[in-house]
Amino acid sequence: MKPLLSIINLKKIYGKGCDDCLGNHPTMGSDNRCPVCGSIVACTDINFEVFPGEVLGIVGESGSGKSTILNCINMTLRVTTGEIFFGNLKRDRQNILKADAQTRRQLQNIHFGIVYQNPHLGLNFQISGEGNVAERMLVAGNRHFEMIQGKVHRLLQRVELPVSRYKDFPGAYSGGMQQRVQIAKALINEPTLILLDEPTGGLDVSVQARILDLIRSISRELQVAMIMVSHDMQVIRLLCERIIVMKHGRIVESGLTDRVIDDPREAYTQTLVHSTIQ
């Protein structure tokens, strides 16, 4: 099978950068800083592939560069160097970082869906929950009110948002409902890749379980590829087939989820796996 997404030598640096940290394999210090010039190395030497319908997990502690990778793929962050190829058909496979503005917007609006931990990043609080989901269809060029509303309602029903709350503004929703609307928003245009940035962070355990159930059944039904960022090993174990472990902006270990969790090779992964509260 051909990969849907290939990340090649992705690097994101905040600060001036120097020959060392802008080079191929920068020296790793005791944190994200370049030991030579002091620039922040948000992520470097990132190489991985995502296949159609696959759920890939990215784990690591805060500041390890997980969200940076997602935002680079979603093109909301400018990468310093590197290439991101998207599309599993030869004719439309392209380096999305080199694409023109219109193509990039089309990718963002139609082919990608993103769910943020903070609903304020993913939702517009000035318009209704229903309008938030409809926005993606309108941006994609749909102009028929009844048709859009029908599709939006079917999806909101699928993510179990109470019918009586469709017209309410997101500020009036509970945290779990906001995440449901974000998921509906990410799904409405039937994307091929969904980016999940800690979608259940900050939710209580029972709500978290239902949202995870929802994500799992969606990934099975629709065969959509997902990249799931989390610091919660249990969540990752439940959803992902393959995982990547990150530290200080580098990939330190990757492999099948069961293998990495049951038999972690790197010292850092061992700490991470064993620091889970049982």
Partner 1 sequence: MYNFALLDENSKREIRRALLKAIAIPGFQVPFASRELPIFFGWGTGGLQITLSVIGKDEILKVFDQGDDDSVNAVNLKRLIQLTTGVSITTETHIATLLQTRHRIPEKRLRSDQVLVLQVPMPEPLRKVEFRETETVRMHAEKDYGKMFVKLYEDVLHHGEITLASDYPVIVVDRHLMATTPIPRWDVPKLNQADNLYLFGAGREKKIYAVPPYTQVTPLSLDDYAFRMEDFKGAACVFCGSTHAYLNEIPAPGGGGQAHACSDTNFCHGNRKRQVIEK
Site for partner 1 in 146-165 (CB under 8 A): 146, 148-149
Pick between residue 91 and residue 144 the one whose CB is nearest to partner 1. 144
Q: Is 197 in the site for partner 1 (CB under 8 A)?
A: no
Residue from 37, 40, 139, 238 binding partner 1 (CB under 8 A): 139
Residue from 7, 59, 134, 187 binding partner 1 (CB under 8 A): 134
Binding mask 88-127 for partner 1 (x = CB under 8 A): -------------xx--x---x--------------x--x
Residue from 54, 68, 123, 130 binding partner 1 (CB under 8 A): 130
SS3 content of the chain, % helix, strand, coil (to 5): 40, 20, 35
Q: Is 144 in the site for partner 1 (CB under 8 A)?
A: yes
CB of 97 to partner 1, least distance (A): 17
Q: Which amino acid is at 179?
A: Q
- How many other C-beta atoms can be found within 10 angstroms of the C-beta atom of residue 53? 16
Indicate if the alpha-carbon torsion angle 247, 83, 19, 77 is positive or negative.
Answer: negative
Residue from 128, 216, 231, 238 binding partner 1 (CB under 8 A): 128
Q: Is 77 in the site for partner 1 (CB under 8 A)?
A: no
Q: How do 55-59 and 40-50 pair as beta strands?
A: unpaired
Q: Is 135 in the site for partner 1 (CB under 8 A)?
A: yes
Q: How do 55-59 and 242-247 pair as beta strands?
A: parallel
Q: Which two tokens stand for residue 79?
A: 């990468």
| 121 closest CA partner among 196, 40, 30, 43 | 196
Q: Which two tokens stand for residue 135?
A: 């926005």
Residue from 2, 120, 145, 274 binding partner 1 (CB under 8 A): 145
Which residue pairs from 106-111 have beta carbons closer than 8 angstroms and sit at least 24 positions apart in sequence?
107/75, 108/74, 108/75, 109/136, 109/139, 109/140, 109/189, 110/140, 110/189, 110/191, 111/86, 111/191, 111/192, 111/193
CB of 159 to partner 1, least distance (A): 19
Residue numbers at the binding site for partner 1 (CB under 8 A): 101-102, 105, 109, 124, 127-128, 130-131, 134-135, 138-140, 143-146, 148-149, 167
